Amino acid sequence: MKLTAFFLDGLTCACCHTENTLWLDLDAGTAECRECGQTAVTDRGSGL
């Protein structure tokens, strides 16, 4: 189990519209849906 993967509570997958299935992978900088496997690149590090 990767220590750099976090469960994204309260988010809905933009692809399959399932809630609470997204995981944030800090190593890859991506968020992956466990339900449909959709992966999206996050925009962390810019702004905030």
> CB of 34: closest distance to Zn ion in angstroms?
8
> CB of 48: closest distance to Zn ion in angstroms?
25
Torsion angle, alpha carbons of 12, 18, 23, 28, to 10? -80
16/31 Cα distance (integer angstroms):
14
> CB of 35: closest distance to Zn ion in angstroms?
4
Site for Zn ion, rule CB under 5 A? 13, 15-16, 33, 35-36, 38
- Cβ closer to Zn ion: 3 or 37? 37
